[in-house]
Amino acid sequence: MSIRPRPLSPHLTIYRWPITMVLSIMHRGTGIVLTSGLMIFAYWLVSIALGESYYSKFLFLSTTWLGSFFLFSLSFAFFLHFSNGIRHLYWDTGRGFNKDNVELSARLVIISTFIFTSIFWWWI
């Protein structure tokens, strides 16, 4: 009698992540990004309260390429978190749990995130 080795589970490089899993991870990640955004918002309010010199320093930092990238990323994170939150509110009503609706709502979250972020930056 020979002992066969147990089969290994699929490695992450060959396992296809479902879109719902990716959105779940991104929803948590955007929550962390939005928390850091609140700290930047608090710094903005403090710089206004401290006077023109502090506010001008904040404006300089926020208009650099790194500051602009962070503000763009923050708005993308907000709209992804917002869209996914609406999806979860819909799920809280007990609807939309069959596989086709879950896949469709996940794609709608991604599409609406790009549309809302584009409209927001076009409007600004």
CATH classification code of 19-123: 1.20.1300.10
Alpha-helix residue ranges (DSSP H) falling in 1-124: 19-50, 52-62, 65-92, 99-123
Length of the chain in terms of residues written: 124
7-41: pLDDT as tens digits: 666 666 677 889 999 999 999 999 999 999 999 99
Q: For 54-93, what is each residue's pLDDT tens digit?
A: 999 999 999 999 999 999 999 999 999 999 999 999 999 9
CA angle 30, 113, 103 (to 5 degrees): 95
Query: Taking the domains of the chain in order of start, what are their residue ranges?
Result: 19-123
Whether the per-residue pLDDT at 105 is higher than 70: the answer is yes
